[in-house]
Amino acid sequence: MKKEKRQNAAADILRACLKNKAALIPGIIILIVIALSVFGPLLTHYDETSQDLLNRLMPPGNGHIFGTDELGRDVFTRVLYGTRVSLLVALLPTALAVAAGCAAGVCAAEFKGATDFIIMRLADIMLSIPGMLLAMVVLYTLGGSLTSVVISLVLIEWGGIAVVVRTATLEIRESEFVEAAVSTGAGRFRVMMRHILPNLVPTLIVLFTLNIPSSILSESGLSFLGIGIQPPDVSLGLMAGSSRQYLFQMPHLALAPAGMIMVLVLSFNFLGDALRDILDPGRRTL
């Protein structure tokens, strides 16, 4: 019974997504990008790290869709592999940060007093340090790798999410339906699980999708500066960074990864906005 209900709710949302062009188009673009990065090796016969020093800095064409870079590597192949990293960095730390921020925010709002004070001052401290600076400190201490990029992004993002979730939770706690639930005998835990968390979902989805682009951009920025993902690993930001000295001669070297970053960021932004409208039953137009 419960399972059947869940599936139907998911089907409702899916149906609403298919009807809504603002959700459908970025959704399809994101699916294509995911497919490209997953099935990348099947689409190209080049290797992302193999060098061909005789064919350095080739313009697009000649079997290289986006040309080759300063070491003769195929840019198209490298964009596909770089997108993998960007997607991973888009989803994993953002999901972790939303989970951590949500837990912290709900706890702060629910337990009040000292718990609230400690969690919120911790979040304030995190928010008062510029994100890039914080990430640099983490990356210098732990060394540049995918893991340390994930850790630093979670550290940057959880504070802001916790603050928003706390406010939203306080607002929901004051609403009449929570009062009504308490008057029917619902305990604290049940109110939290059945009434507060479901009503936080639209907020969490907006926070999630708004933080995905900033995660992508932060990773790109850190890798561009040379402290994020380290070669021989590939990342879109790293590619944009290493191609900047050829910006005037070979702009496609920078445009290919930058274009992919832009497509990803915009798609997630639009999808987030559309999902928020769909998930709010009050605004749903079925």
Partner 1 sequence: MSDILLELKNLTVSIRRDKEDIPIVKGVDIAIPRGKIVGLVGESGCGKSMTAKSVMGILPGAARVSFGSILWHDPDGTVTDLTGLKEKELRKMCGTKIGMVFQEPMTSLNPMMRIGDQVAEVLLIHKLVKNRSEARDKVIQLLNEVGIPEPELRYRSYPHELSGGMRQRVMIAMAVICEPKLLIADEPTTALDVTIEAQILKLIRQMCEARNMSAIVITHNMGVVSRLCDSVYVMYMGRIMERASVRDLFSNPIHPYTRGLLSSIPRIGENSEYLKTIPGNIPESEKETVGCEFCLRCSEDERRCFFERPEETEAEEGHFVSCFTAGPGNEVHHE
The binding site for partner 1 (CB under 8 A) comprises 1-2, 5, 175-177, 179-187, 190, 194-195, 198-199, 201, 281-282, 284
Identity of the residue, 184 or 249, whose beta carbon is nearer to partner 1 in the bound complex:
184
Least Å distance between CB 232 and partner 1? Answer: 48
Least Å distance between CB 102 and partner 1? Answer: 16
Alpha-carbon distance of 234 to 249, in angstroms, equals 22
Identity of the residue, 233 or 277, whose beta carbon is nearer to partner 1 in the bound complex:
277
Alpha-carbon distance of 271 to 107, in angstroms, equals 29
Least Å distance between CB 4 and partner 1? Answer: 10
DSSP letter for each residue of 232-259: TS--HHHHHHHTGGGTTT-HHHHHHHHH
Identity of the residue, 53 or 180, whose beta carbon is nearer to partner 1 in the bound complex:
180
* 10 CB-contact burial (10 Å; exposed 0-12 / middle 13-18 / buried 19+): exposed
DSSP letter for each residue of 124-135: HHHHHS-HHHHH
Alpha-carbon distance of 261 to 220, in angstroms, equals 8
Identity of the residue, 54 or 286, whose beta carbon is nearer to partner 1 in the bound complex:
286
- Ramachandran quadrant class, 46 (left: phi over 0; alpha: psi -120 to 50; beta: rest): beta
- What residues have CB less than 8 Å from 268, skipping those under 6 apart? 26, 30, 90, 209, 212, 213, 216
Alpha-carbon distance of 208 to 106, in angstroms, equals 16
Least Å distance between CB 19 and partner 1? Answer: 17
Q: Is the peptide bond before 93 cis (omega within 30 degrees of 0)?
A: no
Identity of the residue, 34 or 181, whose beta carbon is nearer to partner 1 in the bound complex:
181
Least Å distance between CB 268 and partner 1? Answer: 24
Least Å distance between CB 187 and partner 1? Answer: 6
Identity of the residue, 112 or 121, whose beta carbon is nearer to partner 1 in the bound complex:
112
